[in-house]
Amino acid sequence: MSLENDIKELICAGFSGIWVDSQEADDAIATIKKMADNRSWGCDIWDLDRQLYGRPTPAPGPVHALRWLDTAEAKTNSTQLLIVKNFHRFLPNPEVMQVLQNRVATGKAIGQHVIVVSPVLQLQPEVEKLFTIVHHELPTREQLATIVNELFSGENNSFVKPSDEVIGLVVDAAAGMTRLEAENAFSLSLIRHNTLSPDVVWNLKSQTLEKAGTLQLYRGDASFEGLGGLENLKAFCIRAMKRQGESDPEKRPRGVLLLSPPGCGKSQFAKALGNEVGRPTVMLDFGSLMGKFVGESEANMRRALALVDAMAPCILFCDEIEKALAGTGSSGQTDSGVTARLFGTLLTWLNDHKSDVFFIGTCNDASKLPPEFTRAERFDGVFFVDLPGENARQYIWELYLKKFGLNAAQARPDDANWTGAEIKSCCRLAALLDVPLIEAAQNVVPIAVTNAESIENLRGWADGRCLSADFKGFFKRSVAAAKAGTRRKLNPSNN
């Protein structure tokens, strides 16, 4: 339902306190004002700078603005709306709180309605029961397309209107932006290229996410060609995302959880998948969600997930998720329950979201994950990404030998149980130091040596519990060792 209809119904039902949660205050206010004018309702707007818009009556502060409802001017209309902008800044003041409580409490009987338009929800206990929350959603693709068409509707418009296909790409790039941000991006593209360019919109969108601080947009060129192994994982995700039931949210893919030792390609896979299926990859940083005020962290999480929903279809990538959720069990004693509430918000979203967002979480230590996180219907599959097998290692060697301009015919070190990251490091060091691969390998200590016990414990946990990323079916330690082409030593003391 639109903001206009939501507000209209609440006003007609006699709700005297309405809180509009909006990242586009001016657009929300203009929508409410137009709706009120069409119905001949009184509608006045106040902010700290312009006070009461167009009224000679001074209202220099928030208390004066609310008390204006007591004047004869305000009582000339049977239905009177007072829109106050960014009023959350004043609610900690006891006088403002009391005046607001009194005006909202008495407004229902006399047809007066206080509408707070704010980018955050910060209702104090004294008034939280008096207000109803309305969310002003970010623009849909249809609304963004309308903005695009308006740019080319003028008679003196000299810009070249692109094809419908290009407009579709531009609208997809702008999904998740506010109306003002999208319009600015479209205008910049017209100035630079005399037409609309998706690349300009993507670049500005990346800056927008960086300003928010909780999300980052990956715009690299990672692809499956640069990722050896993981054939079953690749095929599973590609098939799930290309055969999805777009018209039925219940049939949409949910995502995967990837478990493995460090350096085996989990993060690279998440970045490459977006390019393979033509979706943006958005990275969520749990550390950036933490705020210094009570409730700020939870609000950051809700805003981040709402923005991701608005950007759908997309991929949401959360790296090393066990580190973010490790303190969930003791959260009540260590951080007043903030981590537990963030975890609860994420769980609810994973279970209930209807948007076309594919979630990828990576993890290096399954023992630190809360058990409810991995239950069915949170993910489409939990995969174990083991150390690369012989064929995968051969592919990775060829990839990085070519990338760093090295002689592919030279002798290679014993790479049994090496990760892809260690093969890359060996090639990079060989090119950096101008030495053969055998000599460069002396500077590489495999994680299978430095962290042998943890890797074997991880394999033991994944045995029969996780799907294999390399071959169909469940991961079996014995089968994985056979397919790797090398004998894996199960005694950590021998590694």
For the stretch 68-101, pLDDT in tens is 999 888 888 889 999 999 999 998 899 999 999 9
CATH topology of domain 3-135: Rossmann fold (3.40.50)
Q: Of 438, 442, 448, 455, which is closest to residue 418 (Cα–Cα)?
A: 448
φ, ψ of residue 427 to 5 degrees: the values are -65, -40
pTM for the model stands at: 0.77
Q: Is 446 helix (H, G, I), strand (E, B) or coil?
A: coil
The helix (run of H) or strand (run of E) holding residue 430 is: helix 420-433
- Compute CA 183 distance to the chain's CA centroid, rounded to the nearest angstrom: 22
Q: Which stretches does DSSP call E strand in 219-301?
A: 255-259, 281-284
What is the layout of strands, in order, in the sheet containing 132-135?
A: 51-52, 42-47, 80-85, 112-118, 17-21, 132-135
The helix (run of H) or strand (run of E) holding residue 297 is: helix 296-311
Alpha carbon distance 230, 266 (integer Å): 9
- What is the pLDDT, as a whole number, of residue 495? 30
Alpha carbon distance 446, 296 (integer Å): 41
Q: Of 118, 41, 136, 134, which is closest to residue 81 (Cα–Cα)?
A: 41
* Residue 250 identity (one-letter amino acid): E
- What is the pLDDT, as a whole number, of residue 235? 92
Contact of 182 with 257, CB cutoff 8 Å = no
Q: Is the pLDDT of residue 184 over 80?
A: yes
Alpha carbon distance 327, 340 (integer Å): 8
- What is the pLDDT, as a whole number, of residue 244? 55
Alpha carbon distance 186, 152 (integer Å): 11
Q: What is the mean pLDDT of residues 123-152?
A: 89
Helix axes 198-212, 179-193, angle to 10 degrees: 140
- The confidence band for 351, taking pLDDT boundaries of 50, 70 and 90, is confident
CA atoms within 13 A of residue 435's CA, in its CB half-sphere: 14
Question: What token pair was written down for 256?
Answer: 């995967």
| Ranges of H-type helices in 13-163 | 25-38, 62-67, 94-110, 141-151
Residues of the chain with CATH 3.40.50.300: 3-135, 224-382
CATH topology of domain 224-382: Rossmann fold (3.40.50)
Alpha carbon distance 174, 140 (integer Å): 10
- What is the pLDDT, as a whole number, of residue 464? 86
In sequence order, the 6+-apart residues with CB closer than 8 A to the CB of 435 are 429
Identify how many contiguous H helices and E strands the chain contains and give both numbers: 20, 13
- What is the pLDDT, as a whole number, of residue 335? 56
Q: Of 117, 131, 34, which is closest to residue 82 (Cα–Cα)?
A: 117
Average pLDDT taken over every residue of the chain: 86
Give the model confidence (pLDDT) of 221-274 as tens digits. 888 988 888 999 999 999 888 765 555 667 788 899 999 888 888 889 999 999
Higher pLDDT, 152 or 183: 183
Question: For 336, left (φ over 0), alpha (ψ -120 to 50), or beta?
Answer: left
Q: What is the share, in percent, of the chain residues with pLDDT greater than 70?
A: 91
Sign of the Cα torsion 345, 346, 350, 356 reads positive
Question: What token pair was written down for 50?
Answer: 């312009």
Alpha carbon distance 298, 285 (integer Å): 14
Q: What is the mean pLDDT of residues 323-351?
A: 71
Contact of 258 with 369, CB cutoff 8 Å = no
Looking at residue 249, what DSSP letter applies?
G
Q: Count other C-beta atoms under 10 Å from residue 415's C-beta.
A: 21
